[in-house]
Structure 1
Amino acid sequence: MYQNEAQQVMRVCLLAGKIMLMSGAETYRVEDTMSRIAAAAGISGSHSFVTPTAIIFSLDGAELTKLIRISERSTDLRKVDQVNSISRQISNRGITLKEAYGQLKKIETEEEAYPLWLQFVAAAISSGCFVIIFLGGWIDFLPACIAGGLGFLSTHYIHRFVKVRFFAEFVASLVIGITAYILVHAGIGRELDKIIIGSVMPLVPGLAITNALRDLMAGHLFSGVTKGAEAFLTSFAIGSGIAIILTIF
């Protein structure tokens, strides 16, 4: 394979893997997608090592090995699905690598699928619904919506200025605890514990826990343990913030 062709294959594979990893995909899924793209391009042997913070990729028959760092990770399953769709099109010879690269660059630069106000509304309503799921009363629905919505906004804005996600989640849990306490003592809510439980649910790292278990079961021990530790730290930050509020008040 010519050097420029190998470089094109590597660019497409790395960009696809980067988008998927930054959007919350499991590491084994990222490796599988990159291998399928390389195989569809006529490369029988490709090697990848994916962790939550880096991707190392190389091709047989070409003196090429590249590493890219992943500094930001979020949850955007729409982008994961779009990259999977492009991978399938490449495998079916529906598009060329050049066209695939252009589509991937467009996906990479896209903004979030939903505006902030809609995410806020979803977080607020889901917080209230979780109160009902945990056998709370309808009187606590509105307080949970308010506390959960404010907690979500706190996480979003604090993370913009402080790039330590655990600190943002810790502060958000403080905001939720204080808001819930104020609303209950103002007579708007009744059960403080149910309101807090429902309000913190949008912050709970459910996807990270699921991905950690799936990576462990797929044999990706390093990534599984890493994501499990990340989920533990997030849970610890949320629990610590709530514990501080309950201790003070």
Structure 2
Amino acid sequence: MEEEKKAVSIFRIALAAGELLIKNGAEMNRTEETILRICASRGFTDIAVFISPTVIMIGDDKKEGTTYIKNIKSRGSNIKKISLVNEFSRNFTQGKVSENDALDILKKIDTEKGYPYWLILTTAGIGCGVFSVLLGGTVNDFIVTFLATFAAVFLNDRITRFSKTVFLGNFVAGFFVGIITILFYHVGFVKNLDMIIVGAVLSLVPGVAFTSGIRDFILGDLISGIARTCEAVLIAVAIAFGIGSVLFAYSLLGGI
């Protein structure tokens, strides 16, 4: 009975650590290794692990073993939290963190605030604005790109938080990038539609998701590789549809 209680405690810690890694963009191989090391550090070496972007399953590889399942409902990209979980894993396996404190530490990592949201929006706008200038844009192009990026990132975050779908948020964000760009182009404030759109869309491009998918393919995690690559393609299609619908409508009206 005591052994069973210990197993439940260790598996809960391993599940929580694995969930945090997947939610914040870690590759499947890193997540699996972390779970196995946490379990092995407390004497559980006969462990079977199945990991995908939407679910984690941990079980005792013995015939009478119990299986524990954790659903992953949301995913993003936060390198800081991945680093904190890795640090926790090292400390836990070295015995520097007790089993009683482990879940509290993981919950604290999960609620880590990070940078202020206004700073994220502002730096995204500045970065994309500078990119449009590097492509040959003007100061006016920088201003419009900044505004379009600010609106796109904000709308995408808000819609994705409530809808739980990557398509809708990116479609609306791309749509508003097109609207804002067309409005300033129509009044003559800017002359370069393409540079502004390319710069603003940079904040929405699923580069991390696509790279993680390819990396999972290389490491042999085929299910995760397919899932993440398809998600990246879906996001790209949503952005293209959002911007393309605005440009198509504007062309029908004789604007382009």
Aligned partners of 1:50 and 1:181: how far apart in 2? 44
Which segment is superposed worse, 64-73 or 39-48?
A: 39-48
Moved more, 53-62 or 206-215: 53-62
Moved more, 113-122 or 213-222: 113-122
AA partner of residue 73 (structure 2): S
Could you tell me whether the CA contact under 8 Å between 2:181 and 2:193 is conserved in 1? yes
Find the aligned partners of 1:118 and 1:48 in 2 and give their Cα distance: 39
Q: Give the RMSD, CA atoms, in angstroms.
A: 1.6
> TM-score, normalised to structure 2's length?
0.92
Distance 2:94 2:162 in 1: 44
How far did residue 73 of structure 1 move?
Answer: 1.1
Structure-1 separation of matches of 2:144 and 2:47? 53
CA deviation after TM superposition for structure 1 residue 111, in Å:
4.9
Report matched runs for 1:162-173 at 5 Å. Answer: 162-173=163-174
Q: Kindly report which structure 2 residues correspond to 1:131-210, keeping only aligned pairs within 5 A, or say none.
A: 131-210=132-211
Corresponding residue for 2:8?
Answer: 7
1:27: Cα distance to partner?
1.3
CA offsets per residue over residues 48-89 of structure 1, 9 Å max, x none? 111110001113457221111111111122111111001011
Report if aligned partners of 1:54, 1:69 keep a CA contact under 8 Å in 2: yes
The alignment of Structure 1 onto Structure 2 pairs a total of residues equal to: 248
Shift of 1:112: 3.6
User: Structure 2: any 5+ residue segments left out of the alignment?
Assistant: 251-256
Counterpart secondary structure, 1:66: strand
Cα deviation code 1:5-44 (max 9, x no counterpart) = 1111101100000111111111111111101111111222
SS of equivalent to 1:225: helix
Distance 1:161 1:97 in 2: 35
Identity across matched positions, percent: 34
What letter corresponds to residue 141 of structure 1 in structure 2?
F
Q: TM-score, normalised by structure 1?
A: 0.94
